[in-house]
Amino acid sequence: MKHRTFVWFILPSLAAMTLFIALPIVSVFIQSLFVGHEQVLVVSKSCGPFGCQESTAIDLEATEKLREEAPLGRFNGLGTYINRSHLAFAEIGVAWAETETFSEFWKVVGDLPFYRALAFTLVYTAIVTPVVILLGLAIALGVNALPKLLKGPSIFVSLLPFLVTPLVGSLILFWMVDGDGVIGATIQLIFNDPNLSLKASAALTWTMLIVYGIWHTLPFSFITFYAGLQTVPDDILEAAKVDGASKWERTLHVVVPHLMPLVSFVTLMLLMDNFRVFEPIVSFSAEAHARSLSWIIYNDLRESGNPLYGSAGATSMLTIIGVVILLAPVLIRTWRDFNRKAH
Amino acid sequence: MNIRHLGWAGAISVLMATTAYADGHATCGPEGQSIRILASDFPAIHAVVDAAEAACASSAAEFTRNHTTEARQIMNAALTPDPAEYTSVIVANSTLTQLMNDGLVRPLNDLVDKYGQNIPDNLKIDIDGNVMAIAFMANSQHLFSRTDILEQAGVSDVPATYDEMIAAAKAIREAGIMEYPIVMNMKTGWNVGESFNLVFLAHGGQFFKPGTAEPMVNSEAGVAALNTLKALVEYAHPDHLTQASNETQALWEAGEAALGIMWGSRGAAVLDDEGSTEEVTSNTVLSAAPSVEPGGVPGATLWWDGFTISTNVSDAEAEATFAALASALTPEMVAANNDDAVWLLEGFKPGAAAAGVSATAQGGAAPYPMLPQIGLLHNALGAELSDFLQGNESAEKALADVEAAYVTAAKEAGFLQ
């Protein structure tokens, strides 16, 4: 393709990517470097149905003046990134100096909001991603081996979890695992402990969220692998059969290598998806035990009344960096494969 | 008697006052204006807006309303553009500060002069001489008790202090009636923060050093409050960190709890004949929130709901909106919706559902603080206290975490340097 043609060819997608991906990220990054104006407080007297009280209020005129002078706020550089709500360098330094054993040190670090969320996010990603890939592959192989008549219905059933909106799906599961719900009550019956609660223990809550995550994303990997299985060349399978390879050996040495590019693709998608796990935490009311990076962003923007844009921006940038680090090995591998094929 | 008692005494006397409103014809302000109201979604608010619509929609060019539980989340964004999306937002103590922080609501003094002859002074939310909102109903948390179960467990009186409440819960458990007799709104986030506030205020705690935004929750009162809270939730269902008003009300109506600290606004819903059994409703008694010492400050925050007028709308629209909403605050509206709220308006006949809020207010409970930085502290409490309640860290550590989280956020928001 000529360079000129190539430029015209990719121009629309390049423009769309700049507009919808690059610019928002740049904007978020710029906002994360600023913090709010100094709030000029005045002591005031407020009266209402419950009597009068000394109180403080914001001096709007003075604050407005500051706002006009610098609409973005005060420049804070990377200050927001290293404060206690994010990388917490100062707190970690103190913890390192003051604790004696590693376990004490990690306890302090694990109590800091960012690292606590990072821990859950990483564990969730590290478990859900491989399990979903392996199970998805297994189900795809299973369905592919079914008689034609059963294939359609079983594909449909396997896809169901994907059709349910995450928020609704996790709410339904949340009610089911309640002590009065069908799953919760059954588990209580099995362990003969009427006070067993899946929502009250951190370990069980994490398990519940991970199981939900697997249930919800499994159809994506299943349907992708199933589609890939339709492209496995029959003649190679025949040849392997003639050579005396067992079904297991054929799967391992012919089918799986054929699907490898798809495995890379599914891994990429799942890593990105799982790293920004969010909905189940809200639906399961699991904030007491599990918080994710996305949950911190949501909390900064929503729960404090007047949103903390700088803080939310910094967490977003750190999340993006986290995704890039996680994806790097897969991307490098894909790049090498690509180069090998090109030469 | 402190100033709060005096204030409430004033409110009550106005409640009981019999001066009649001027004749019933509504004055609707300038004609042909657009009235657009944003409000929460519960029956009492609907009643007020319904009355305003019935009285003044015909003289307005447009009367629209948006009742949503998300009102708090969208109001600042909706009122920032000029002209604003809504001419009025119906707010509560905490949400008024959120709007005032950005200067999005206007002083109402001139409108009160023109249309508010019938609005008693104590309903004018007055900040340094500027009336910023008109309150019309009150709310607070208080105690719900099941007298039949207390009796069965050998407890003769409804608990008045936290110690009595814990002792009663213990008696109920030991009598084998219920393993978890207490319900409280402890859901991680806003609710657990608010539950802390209640007990903290009962212990005489102060949130900030007066006149500044420096936090003071890591104090003796803070530690005492957390220990009380911990002692209470020993008797609450293990899932309590996931339970908010809807869940606690459901547990109560299902007869699975005997002592509850819940919102007064749930009182009517609990006592009505829907969603529960005769056994539960006929034995549920609403009383003041418990205090630390007998006769002490009840562990509750007093709330009011009231209406505001946007800054970024034309004066004519502001006037029409104010007149319409002011015209809704009539004894007839109150009479027709008596049990939907604890009305601060003339004509209100406090029934069983209002007993808890009235007793709590008369006991001298504190109003929810109207401070610009309170939202940040409340959020820090909501996020950091669950570790303590799960037994993972000490009360001091949890409160130190709260202060550290608050200071970080307050620096970013510009309240602290």
Tens digits of per-residue pLDDT, B198-249?
Answer: 999 999 999 999 888 999 999 999 999 999 999 999 999 988 999 999 899 9
Does position B161 have pLDDT exceeding 90, yes or no? yes
* Of A49, A57, A197, Cβ closest to residue B11: A49
Q: Under a CB-based contact definition with an 8 Å cutoff, are residues A206 and A281 in contact?
A: no
The closest alpha carbon to A75, from A298, A330, A340, A310, belongs to: A310
Give every CB contact of residue B50 below 8 A, 6+ residues apart in sequence: B328
Nearest CA to CA, how far is B61 from chain A (Å)?
33
- Helix H or strand E encompassing A65: helix A60-69
Separation of first and last alpha carbons in chain A: 18
Predicted pLDDT of residue B21: 40
What's the pLDDT tens digit per position in B320-337? Answer: 999 999 999 999 999 999
Q: Which residues pair with A56 in a beta bridge?
A: A43
* Of B98, B405, B408, Cβ closest to residue A305: B98
Measured distance CA(B22)–CA(B117) in Å, rounded: 9
Identify the structural domains of chain A with CATH numbers, from first to last: 39-75 (no CATH), 112-342 (1.10.3720.10)
- For B306, how many CA atoms within 13 A lie in the half-sphere containing its CB? 28
The phi-psi region of residue B29 (left if phi > 0; otherwise alpha if psi is between -120 and 50; otherwise beta) is: left
Q: What is the DSSP string of B167-218?
A: HHHHHHHHTTS-S--EEE---TTHHHHHHHHHHHHHTT--SBSTTS--B--S
A85-99, B19-33, B75-89: which has the minimum mean pLDDT? B19-33
Measured distance CA(A20)–CA(A103) in Å, rounded: 44
- In A, which residues are within 8 Å of B211 by CB distance? 41, 43, 54, 56
Band of residue B66 on the pLDDT scale cut at 50, 70, 90: very high
- In A, which residues are within 8 Å of B126 by CB distance? 46-48
Q: Under a CB-based contact definition with an 8 Å cutoff, are residues B21 and B311 in contact?
A: no
Q: What is the DSSP string of A275-302?
A: HT--HHHHHTT-TTT---HHHHHHHHHH
Band of residue B41 on the pLDDT scale cut at 50, 70, 90: confident
pLDDT along chain A (343 residues), means of 10: 86 94 95 90 86 84 85 90 93 92 91 94 96 95 91 90 86 86 87 82 91 93 95 90 89 91 92 92 90 94 82 95 91 83 64
Alpha-carbon distances, residue A316 vs A29, A86, A120, A277, B406 (angstroms): 8, 11, 16, 13, 20
Q: Under a CB-based contact definition with an 8 Å cutoff, are residues A155 and A238 in contact?
A: no
Q: What angle do helix axes B71-79 and B93-101 make, rounded to 10 degrees? A: 30
Alpha-carbon distances, residue B272 vs A9, B140, B268, B277 (angstroms): 68, 19, 6, 10
Measured distance CA(B393)–CA(B387) in Å, rounded: 6
Predicted pLDDT of residue A40: 86
Band of residue B16 on the pLDDT scale cut at 50, 70, 90: very low
Measured from the Cβ of residue A147, the count of other Cβ atoms closer than 10 Å reads: 6
Query: Which percentage of chain B shows pLDDT scores above 70?
Result: 94
Predicted pLDDT of residue B350: 87
Average pLDDT over residues B342-353: 89
- The alpha carbon of B337 is separated from its chain's Cα centroid by a whole number of angstroms, namely 19
Measured from the Cβ of residue B269, the count of other Cβ atoms closer than 10 Å reads: 20
Nearest CA to CA, how far is A22 from chain B (Å)?
25
Predicted pLDDT of residue B14: 44
Provide the residue count of chain B. 417
Q: Is B210 on the interface with A (CB under 8 A)?
A: yes
The pTM for the full model equals: 0.88
Q: Which residues pair with B39 in a beta bridge?
A: B67
Does position B352 have pLDDT exceeding 70, yes or no? yes
Q: Is B74 on the interface with A (CB under 8 A)?
A: no
Q: Is B413 on the interface with A (CB under 8 A)?
A: yes
Predicted pLDDT of residue A84: 92
Q: Is B412 on the interface with A (CB under 8 A)?
A: yes
Nearest CA to CA, how far is A48 from chain B (Å)?
5
Does position B73 have pLDDT exceeding 90, yes or no? no
Predicted pLDDT of residue A1: 67
Pairing of strands B124-127, B259-263: unpaired
Give every CB contact of residue A118 below 8 A, 6+ residues apart in sequence: A293, A322
Q: Under a CB-based contact definition with an 8 Å cutoff, are residues A32 and A313 in contact?
A: yes
Q: Say whether domain B3-139+302-364 belongs to CATH 3.40.190.10.
A: yes
What is the residue whose two structure tokens read 């923060």? B193
B372: preceding bond cis by omega (within 30 degrees): no
Measured distance CA(B410)–CA(B417) in Å, rounded: 8
**Residues A49, B122: C-beta atoms closer than 8 Å:** yes
State both tokens at B139. Answer: 């709310």
Q: Under a CB-based contact definition with an 8 Å cutoff, are residues A114 and A292 in contact?
A: no
Q: Which CATH class is domain B141-300+367-413?
A: alpha beta
Domain definitions of chain B by residue range:
3-139+302-364, 141-300+367-413
Predicted pLDDT of residue A41: 86
How high is the mean pLDDT of chain B? 90
Predicted pLDDT of residue B24: 43
- In B, which residues are within 8 Å of A53 by CB distance? 3, 367, 370
Does position B15 have pLDDT exceeding 70, yes or no? no
Average pLDDT over residues B313-317: 95
Q: Under a CB-based contact definition with an 8 Å cutoff, are residues A40 and B212 in contact?
A: no
